[in-house]
Amino acid sequence: MKFTIIVPVYNAEDRITKCLDSILEQDFEDYEVILINDGSTDNSLQYLYSYCSKDSRFHVYSFENSGVGMTRKRGVILAQGDYVLFIDSDDTYNSKLLSSLSPFVIDNNIDVIRYQCNIINDKKGKNHERYNIEPNHSLLSGLEVLNLWSVPGKKYAVYWLFCFKRELLLNSFFIPNLRCYEDVAVIPLLILYANSVITIDYIGYNYIQNTDSLTNIKSLEAEISRAKDFISAYDYFVENIIKLAKLNNTDRTFFINDYNRRLLLKYNSLPENLQKQFYNEISKRITI
């Protein structure tokens, strides 16, 4: 089997059908779909079972709520495909994504393929191309592409931008158990671990801005939780990049400085009362 698509689902009854229909609309048929119900309390599970009943490529697994990081980890372990993609339950694929990826995975000699995305309901004034990057038409190493991607104003540390060789996910840095920002922690490490990366120009993913998502909830409790998770993600990245033997000291310093910049941006985005609360924690790591 060529592809496994992993869909973490938590209380998504009002949007999951658009997501799963977009998978069914793919014009490439050699794939399976792993649906992980992360302890939903609404009718999400019934919707998932309905898709399994009409298409044998869909498989549903249900667990107690443990967060999207653990959910993705479970999906990778259950996957049977040579390559793995992730999609959030409130987003959609465009119909030629898998067929656009398929020429690059015929011989299983590419570790990571990056595609492009369209942002739906994006805020005015934002850079609508912040997740997209010029395609490279030859294979590059993970180190080469991450040097190109690690620039202010560009974002790459999200699972849904990539098609990963499953072996890479199983045999390198694994997903930490964070409720939020686990992709910030591990995506750059996965890329650096990869020997071969290519970026294609196909816009395969529709990232739908959802004000109810975990990263957009504005309560004080949620802000504190996200700040703690971002610090944990930063620590995970720094701790593991120091251990990455394939990097020299210059490369290692470059990426740590890039994450220092990201941590400072996160700190500066906090409300003033939370800046005071997290000052000591942040100042242990970077100069504020």
Task: Please count the other Cβ atoms lying within 10 Å of the Cβ belonging to residue 198.
Answer: 19
Per-residue pLDDT, 137:
78
φ/ψ of 154, rounded to 5, equals: -115, 145
How many H helices and E strands in the chain?
10, 9
Task: Report residues of the chain scoring pLDDT below 70.
Answer: 173-175, 211-218
Cα gap 281→116, rounded to integer Å: 35
Q: 3-state SS of 161-218?
A: HEEEEHHHHHHCCCCCCCCCCHHHHHHHHHHHHCCCEEEEEEEEEEEECCCCCCCCCC
Secondary structure class of 29 (helix, strand, coil): coil
pTM reported for the whole predicted model:
0.94
Per-residue pLDDT, 177:
74
Per-residue pLDDT, 224:
95
Report the DSSP beta bridge partners of residue 206. Answer: 92, 118
Contacts for 61 with CB less than 8 Å, ≥ 6 apart: 34, 35, 36, 37, 74, 78
Cα gap 203→100, rounded to integer Å: 10
Q: What percent of the chain has pLDDT over 70?
A: 96
Smallest CA-to-CA distance from 4 within 67, 49, 62, 61 is with 61
Per-residue pLDDT, 69:
86
Smallest CA-to-CA distance from 97 within 170, 153, 19 is with 19
Tell me how far CA of residue 276 lies from CA of 180, 214, 283, 287, in angstroms. 22, 23, 11, 15
